[in-house]
Amino acid sequence: MKTLMLTHPMPAAPFAEAIRAIEPALPLVEYHPRMDPAALSDVQAVLGWRFPDGLVARLPQLRWVCSVGAGVDKLLVPELPPQVSVSRIVDAEQAVGIAQFVVLMALRHARGLAHYEELQRRREWSRRPTGAVRQRVTVLGMGAVGSAIARLLRAVGFEVTGYSRRSGATLQAVLVSGDIVVCALPLTPQTSGILDADALASMPRGGYLINIARGAHVVEADLIAALRSGHLGGAALDVQAHEPMAPADPLWTQPGITITPHIAAQSSPQTIAEQFVAGWRQMQRGEFPLNRVDRSLGY
Ligand code: OXD
């Protein structure tokens, strides 16, 4: 099964090297925009992050798309034929890394670190006593990543409520009780824009939002408005609607927002290669690939 590497903006070479070390016979070709149609006509598998416009129509033999990440939203394009299997990487180490990042941001907020950073800039030594953290955190999305986040938050003292499609509670009910809200949802048509003005207004005054999922979950203009009005106390956005963010993006300069460039945690090329090769071998045997997503759900 010839495989097209579509990992841009990540370089393909580390993934290709790790795959060849496990399965030297696996035919790999790296995508470039001016590729000859003949080189695409026999591609059966894609290892990728995002489909360039119009590419799917140039892959008549496509059988399997494997995401290089945990999310598949940029690969589930409408023109993807229904019989194509889609899978993703499920990496416990990445989940732990993301959970560590969330705990870092939650503690930074709960312990008021931004205040002390500001005091240091002003050379001001003044104390504001606080107890151990016991704030309530709502984790939206209780898949592998959300569950790891909930476990680690509880371990450091937060009171955690998880929300998922199956949990029965309404979104509004769980937002009301979250001093901190963590978004770990898959991006689907149902969750796109889920954190809009109404949802943010449901959070308690002074609430804090941490997004490690996808920028499109948040209506960014509504978030900025909620911060400007003083309703929300701040936000940590590891993901943004437009990545990479343009210099003029208003999120950069909004007080209270901490921006990081989608670095909460990545899977290693080795892990991705191992899972990709396992799926490739399954596909060769006529089986479904490892970590196949339900295309009707989008995760
Ligand atoms: C993702 C990832 O899907 O980094 O965002 O794995």
Span from the CA of 74 to the centroid of ligand 1 (angstroms): 11
The DSSP element (H or E) to which 22 belongs, if any, is helix 13-22
- One-letter amino acid at 32 equals H
Sign of CA dihedral 293, 294, 296, 299: negative
Query: How do the residues of the chain divide into helix, strand and coil, expressed in percent and rounded to 5?
Result: 35, 15, 50
Span from the CA of 8 to the centroid of ligand 1 (angstroms): 13
How far CA 64 is from CA of 11, 61, 90, 148, in Å, comes to 21, 9, 17, 28
Nearest to 45 by CA among 277, 298, 299, 291: 277
Determine whether 128 is an active site residue: no
Q: What residues does ligand 1 touch, defined as CB less than 6 Å away?
A: 69-71, 266
Confidence (pLDDT) at 51: 97
Confidence (pLDDT) at 165: 85
Determine how many CB atoms are found less than 10 A away from the CB of residue 113.
13
Q: Which of 88, 109, 214, 217 is catalytic?
A: 214
d(CA 226, CA 220): 10
- Tokens 């509504």 correspond to what residue? 222
pLDDT along the chain (299 residues), means of 10: 96 98 97 96 98 97 97 97 97 98 98 97 96 97 97 98 91 96 97 98 98 98 98 98 97 98 97 98 97 96
- One-letter amino acid at 35 equals M
**Ligand 1 pocket test, candidate residues 262, 276, 293, most atoms within 8 A of CB:** 262
**Ligand 1 pocket test, candidate residues 76, 243, 266, 271, most atoms within 8 A of CB:** 266
Confidence (pLDDT) at 168: 87
Nearest to 73 by CA among 91, 94, 50, 92: 50
Confidence (pLDDT) at 32: 96
Atom of ligand 1 nearest to the CA of 266: 4
Confidence (pLDDT) at 234: 98
